């Protein structure tokens, strides 16, 4: 391996991986009406081609045609950002109440579990202060999906519940495509081949061995879900390379890059919905 790269021990626990087709979502009037009632948004549905949007004075509900994913945002509960931090409950309590909320809204999924809690931070200047003050204004409970014990990465696979300044839910999203497991497994490309593909990525082509280093902390196997607005007939098996780049000008730049973990035959390319023939995501 090139001295530009510092690599961890390569995983060798799997030789094959299951493929998951994604079921076509049945987005019809009843589906839209169901979730409009769940979120109590009573406007007339408008189809933009990629999304169905229901909006009134209380909030906005978006339902994505390609995936059946849902995104709701409150209008009445989102106010101007407070100039002091909100006291949110500790993590265990926050997760418990988010789970209860999702169950009440019919949005739980046995394939998803909480992975993290994050916060929105805002900075402001008050009166004649010279240094900006920080305020924590939102708490986000984040869920990740798993299939066969493997994580599903990408913008099309996540649940998030957001609490705002009044300690009420201000935003909910569930981005997901219902999967169906195929009987036949597919052979994984050797992880050594994935490493070579990763190392020849254009992102590293201008880096000098003398002044830069690419340190990979973790190589792991999983699936990748495209954005909820895009058609994807099959979730994509990938190796994820997670680490950071350091150069003489930039001390640390974190990255997570994905290399497709199976050979892309024409048939598999069609199944996954990938529009290009490359090996990177």
Are the folds of 5-20+181-272 and 69-176 the same? Answer: no
Domain boundaries, the chain: 5-20+181-272, 69-176
pTM of the model: 0.89
Identify any residues that bridge with 220 across adjacent strands, giving them in sequence order. Answer: 240
Measured distance CA(236)–CA(251) in Å, rounded: 33
CATH number, domain 5-20+181-272, options 2.40.128, 1.10.8, 2.40.50, 2.60.120:
2.40.128
The predicted structure's pLDDT at residue 276? 44
Which residues, 6+ apart, have CB-to-CB distance to 61 below 8 Å? 35, 36, 39, 41, 53, 54, 55, 70, 71, 72
Q: What's the longest Cα–Cα distance across the chain?
A: 67
Identify any residues that bridge with 235 across adjacent strands, giving them in sequence order. Answer: none
Confidence of residue 116 (pLDDT cuts 50, 70, 90): very high
CATH class of 69-176: alpha beta
Question: How many other CB atoms are found less than 10 A from the CB of residue 222?
Answer: 25
The predicted structure's pLDDT at residue 273? 58
Mean pLDDT on 78-107: 86
Whether the predicted pLDDT of 88 surpasses 80? yes
User: What percent of the chain has pLDDT above 70?
Assistant: 89
Confidence of residue 127 (pLDDT cuts 50, 70, 90): low
The predicted structure's pLDDT at residue 265? 67
Confidence of residue 15 (pLDDT cuts 50, 70, 90): very high
The predicted structure's pLDDT at residue 235? 94
């Amino acid at each position: 391996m090139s001295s530009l790269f510092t690599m961890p021990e390569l995983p060798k626990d799997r030789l094959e991986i299951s493929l998951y087709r994604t079921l076509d979502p049945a987005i019809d009037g009843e589906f839209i009406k169901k979730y409009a009632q769940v979120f109590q948004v009573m406007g007339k549905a408008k189809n933009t081609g990629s999304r169905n949007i229901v909006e009134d004075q209380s909030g906005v509900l978006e339902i994505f045609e390609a995936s059946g994913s849902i995104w709701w945002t409150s209008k009445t509960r989102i106010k101007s950002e407070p100039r002091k931090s909100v006291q949110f409950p500790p993590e265990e309590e926050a997760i418990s109440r988010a789970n209860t909320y999702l169950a009440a809204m019919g949005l739980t999924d046995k394939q998803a579990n909480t992975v993290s809690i994050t916060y929105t931070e805002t900075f402001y200047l008050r009166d004649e202060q010279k240094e900006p003050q920080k305020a924590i204004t939102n708490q986000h409970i984040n869920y990740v999906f798993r299939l066969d014990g493997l994580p599903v990465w990408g913008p099309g696979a996540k649940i998030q519940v957001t609490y705002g300044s009044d300690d009420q839910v201000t935003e909910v999203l569930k981005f997901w495509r219902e999967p169906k497991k195929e009987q036949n497994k597919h052979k994984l490309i050797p992880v050594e081949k994935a490493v070579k593909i990763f190392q020849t990525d254009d992102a590293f082509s201008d880096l000098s061995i003398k002044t830069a280093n690419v340190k990979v902390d973790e190589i792991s196997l999983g699936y990748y879900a495209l954005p909820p607005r895009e058609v994807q007939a099959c979730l994509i098996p990938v190796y994820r390379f997670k680490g950071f780049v350091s150069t003489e000008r930039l001390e640390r730049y974190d990255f997570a890059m994905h290399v497709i973990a199976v050979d892309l035959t024409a048939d598999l390319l069609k199944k996954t919905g990938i529009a290009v023939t490359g090996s990177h995501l």
